[in-house]
Amino acid sequence: MTFACALFAAAPVAATAQGYGAPVTIDTCAPMLQPNAVPSNPPSFMGVPVAAMTSHSTGMHIAFVNNGPKVAKVVNFEVSSNGNQFIVRDVGTFSPGILIDHQFNNGAGQSFFLPAFISPKVTCHVASVEFADGSVWRHGQPPGISPETYGSAAHGQLSATPKMVALDVQSEAGLFLVQTSSRVAGLRETDNCSGIASVFVGASGDNAATYYVKPLGRGTCAAHIIDEYGATVTVPIAVR
């Protein structure tokens, strides 16, 4: 069983909540925390090194069970913190009744200015589930719909505004908006912009997401935004 990617638009947090009638039950949804290292001669507060009072997240730990009648192949989890949201996407073969326990690494991690043994708070819910037969359940789906009548995956069109981003290497950042014609649980981004630009999501919703582009060095590259059904829009990036 493998996972595709995790998109982090905010510091991850811990506590679980379920959408109505979700065929997937969340067992665990929490950040993976590690205490920050204490350097030599660190600043202190009341005699305690400041670094000893902080921790950082190396990613998210999510465990869940598919309680639906069918094998699931994609589960999108929405994690919220103080009004900010990000999507954790797990792709694999998830048979009914089996506990799936995965860890999703997020690179450098997020720092928290709080005692290392206290977890920041978050809420998590299942945003959507796609089954092996192509049917899809989405968060907020009306009650009374049986698992056998889950709708088919809707393949919408993605569009980007502006269609390309051109920046001066000295500028702070640019941005572009990606919209989809159908409701989706999340979008993921890939690019070939190493050393040229850093692309990261600033905000996301059911059918749109805003991406920031921070210039790093002169050159050209492209960001590819992909929805849960595989539809893609490409945004060329030029840093002068």
- What would the pLDDT profile of 123-138 be if each residue is shown by its tens digit? 888 988 888 888 888 8
Q: The whole model's pTM is what?
A: 0.52
- Containing domain of residue 222, as a range? 158-239
223: CATH: 2.60.40.10
Count the neighbouring beta carbons within 10 Å of the beta carbon of residue 205.
Answer: 13
Asked if residue 141 and residue 164 are part of one domain, the reply reads no
Asked if residue 124 and residue 180 are part of one domain, the reply reads no
Q: What confidence category does residue 105 fall into, taking pLDDT thresholds of 50, 70 and 90? A: confident
Identify whether 162 is preceded by a cis peptide bond (ω within 30 of 0): yes
Return the bridge partners of 60, or none: 31, 104
Asked if residue 147 and residue 199 are part of one domain, the reply reads no
The contacts of residue 95 (CB under 8 Å, 6+ apart) are 66, 71
- From the number of C-beta atoms within 10 Å of its C-beta (0-12, 13-18, 19+), residue 192 rates as exposed
In this predicted model, what pLDDT tens digit does every residue of 210-229 receive, in sequence order? 899 999 999 999 999 988 77
Domain stop point among 97, 118, 152:
152
The contacts of residue 214 (CB under 8 Å, 6+ apart) are 172, 173, 197, 198, 199, 200
